[in-house]
Structure 1
Amino acid sequence: MESLNPLPARPSRAWFRAWLGATCASAGLGVLAAEPDLPGSADPPDFARFPGAWIVAYSAPDAVRDYEFITGPVDKIRRDVRIDNSLRLSGTLTRVTWQAPNGTRLADAVAHYRGLALAAGGRLVFECSGPDCGRSTVWANHVFRVPVLAAPNRTQHFLAMAVPSGDGARLLATIYVVQRGNRRVYAHVDTFAPDPGAVVEFDRNRDLAQVLARHGHAVLEGVTPGRLGRLPPEALATLQAIASSLAAFADQPLHVVCHLGGSAPMDTLLARSTACAEEAAAKLSESGISALAFGAGPLLPREDAPLERVELVAPERLRRR
């Protein structure tokens, strides 16, 4: 009779781990970690580890007064860390970092943790991948303070999510997954429970029509172009959601202005930002909003707004000021 798990002539360590995991799973014993966890650590609720992973950094639940829940990319200009989109809240923070088994693909680890959050009823607030997330060294050393998370910018993925907890309250989760230069994959999860009564508001475009009518221009929150000028799916969904609030402007054209920075030549940045503006205008037009596209590249910076942004301008309102 043939064995269900035949032993090769010279079994490798990777083969043995795979064989052991399959054998344990078939026996109902669960998946074993390849290495022991950090003493005293544990997986947070709703975020079971990637199969075979083990905990390499851990911060037990602790009360914090000024937690920054980041909902955008991060950067560092000279010595100053730049975080344009975030919420500051008081509550209880838990941090866990896992190392995945050798051979794990970055995309598989991302899909695992995203799937856990969505299965728990989570809502995606922000997601980015590669250079669109900013600098990995800032995430690792400044945001999470776990140096092992530093990786090439092109092999990083970040998600910010709001997840219902067991008692009906809202739990905020940030998920950061990287593949380092040595091909090892690490995943980090912050779970944050805001204090009771804390106001957690992600619909920052709720006053968009009023701001646009009063000032003649408004930055669209949650609509951030990537480095190549493309709008991610969540940005397009935000544009579709806010279109209904712009009914008061149905009889006057709005201008969609896309701002985009970077180290590419100026002509390239202008072309990319124009494509971004056209994509945003087309999405608004699907809902009956007359929108004209304009790509500004990096030429219209503002001290009070991110460099990469999409802005609506109502010229008739500007003339009334």
Structure 2
Amino acid sequence: MRLTTFCCLALAGSSLLAADLPGSHDLEVLPRFPHSEIVDFRQVEAERTYPQGNVRRISGQLRYEREVSAEGALNAATYRLPAGHVATEAFAQARTALLEQGSELLYWCEGRECGSSSLWANAVFGNARLYGPDERQAYALLRLAAPRRDSLLALYAITRGNRRDYLHVEQLDAAGELGELLPTPATLLRQLRADGQLLLPGLSGEPGAAWAELLARSLMLDSTLRVALAGAQAPAWRAALVERGVRAARLELDEAAVAGLRLNRLP
């Protein structure tokens, strides 16, 4: 009886492993969502354009507010999630895991603000399996932490009309240097609201004009939001934000020792 039970368990385990598309594998930087299976996998040299804004088609042409384009080695995997779990749950877990590794969030949208799911599925990712209702999607674009700073990682989550949930993950290792990439103001605000803090380890020096303007624009999207700034250069950053129009009463100083700059949302 015990031998029979062992054999059955072994066969069950083998069938679970066999559920993945043959030849596919996880991306090294991202842990797999429990009990999900890979249903599509691509490993090619490719040129990719990743949106930093909602996706629209105007006069037959795709239009984005901003974009990041690069060419290099592409690894893409599409996971079907187990019953009882929604795509946004896997998306949130993946985003958190990447940020904990030091990745930088360049863009983040959810629902209808992302634009047309049909365009994301067919025009951006070339994978019709990812098409679903516009209100049930989420997308994020991240730059990986050193030593992979010339790599981009895109996440796209969708709950299809048939209630099946998918998470699509792409890592593009660029053939050349990506240079400076800035997030959008709305992305920084969303991250601050969702996580309660904004960690910017790269901002350890005196305030630069581009980042000071970006942070000021982010904070001015919500005039009721108050934050505490921590870091060796926090007083200088506070002064730079006030200079760019953020009310001084919204900006407190936190004496905590942190690497770079940290913004904490205040109640």
Preserved contact between residue 32 and residue 52 of structure 1 (Cα < 8 Å): no
Cα deviation per residue 1:249-276 (whole Å; 9 max; x = unaligned)? xxxxxxx999xxxxxxxxxxxxxxxxx7
Preserved contact between residue 122 and residue 161 of structure 1 (Cα < 8 Å): yes
- Give 2:22's aligned amino acid: P
* Structure 2 residue 30 is matched with structure 1 residue 52: no
Cα deviation per residue 1:17-49 (whole Å; 9 max; x = unaligned)? xxxxxxx9xxxxx99848711121111112232
- Give 2:190's aligned amino acid: P
Q: Which residue of 1 aligns with 2:190?
A: 232
Structure 2 length-normalised TM:
0.66
Displacement of 1:99 in angstroms is 0.5
**Which is higher, the Rg of structure 1 or of structure 2?**
1
Q: Which residue of 1 aligns with 2:178?
A: 199
User: Residue 232 of structure 1 aligns to a residue in which SS?
Assistant: helix
- Give 1:56's aligned amino acid: V
User: Whole-Å Cα distance in 1 between the matches of residues 82 and 160 of structure 2?
Assistant: 13
- Do the aligned partners of residues 94 and 278 (structure 1) sit closer, same or farther apart at CA in structure 2, a change above 3 Å counting? closer
Cα deviation per residue 1:263-315 (whole Å; 9 max; x = unaligned)? xxxxxxxxxxxxx76639988999423649xxxxxxxxxxxxxxxxxxxxxxx
User: Whole-Å Cα distance in 2 between the matches of residues 281 and 54 of structure 1?
Assistant: 41
- Give 1:87's aligned amino acid: V
The one of 136, 145, 166 aligned to 1:186: 166
User: Whole-Å Cα distance in 1 between the matches of residues 14 and 184 of structure 2?
Assistant: 38
Q: Which residue of 2 aligns with 1:63?
A: 45
Q: Which residue of 1 aligns with 2:116?
A: 135
Q: Which residue of 2 aligns with 1:37?
A: 20
Unaligned runs of 5+ in 2: 1-8, 210-215, 228-236, 247-267
Q: Which residue of 1 aligns with 2:137?
A: 156
The one of 223, 243, 253 aligned to 1:279: 223
- Give 1:111's aligned amino acid: A
User: Whole-Å Cα distance in 2 between the matches of residues 41 and 278 of structure 1?
Assistant: 44
Preserved contact between residue 157 and residue 167 of structure 2 (Cα < 8 Å): yes
Greater relative CO, 1 or 2 (CA 8 Å, sep 6+): 2
- Percent identical: 26
Cα deviation per residue 1:89-124 (whole Å; 9 max; x = unaligned)? 221111110100111123321122113312332121
RMSD: 4.0
User: Residue 288 of structure 1 aligns to a residue in which SS?
Assistant: helix
- Aligned residue pairs, count: 216
Cα deviation per residue 1:155-208 (whole Å; 9 max; x = unaligned)? 11111111136xx2322100001111222110000101111x4233213xxxxx
User: Whole-Å Cα distance in 2 between the matches of residues 234 and 278 of structure 1?
Assistant: 11
Unaligned runs of 5+ in 1: 1-23, 25-29, 204-220, 226-230, 247-255, 259-275, 293-321
Q: Which residue of 2 aligns with 1:223?
A: 185
Structure 1 length-normalised TM:
0.56
- Do the aligned partners of residues 72 and 54 (structure 1) sit closer, same or farther apart at CA in structure 2, a change above 3 Å counting? same
Over 6 Å off, 4+ runs = 235-238, 280-286
- Give 2:45's aligned amino acid: A
- Give 2:172's aligned amino acid: F
User: Whole-Å Cα distance in 2 between the matches of residues 245 and 56 of structure 1?
Assistant: 44
User: Whole-Å Cα distance in 1 between the matches of residues 61 and 208 of structure 2?
Assistant: 37
User: Whole-Å Cα distance in 2 between the matches of residues 109 and 257 of structure 1?
Assistant: 30
User: Whole-Å Cα distance in 1 between the matches of residues 113 and 145 of structure 2?
Assistant: 27
User: Residue 185 of structure 2 aligns to a residue in which SS?
Assistant: coil
Q: Which residue of 2 aligns with 1:299?
A: none
Q: Which residue of 1 aligns with 2:100?
A: 119
- Do the aligned partners of residues 285 and 47 (structure 1) sit closer, same or farther apart at CA in structure 2, a change above 3 Å counting? closer
- Give 1:232's aligned amino acid: R
User: Whole-Å Cα distance in 2 between the matches of residues 36 and 290 of structure 1?
Assistant: 54
Q: Which residue of 2 aligns with 1:72?
A: 53
Q: Which residue of 2 aligns with 1:288?
A: 242
Preserved contact between residue 161 and residue 173 of structure 1 (Cα < 8 Å): yes
Q: Which residue of 2 aligns with 1:85?
A: 66
Displacement of 1:150 in angstroms is 0.7
Q: Which residue of 2 aligns with 1:177?
A: 157
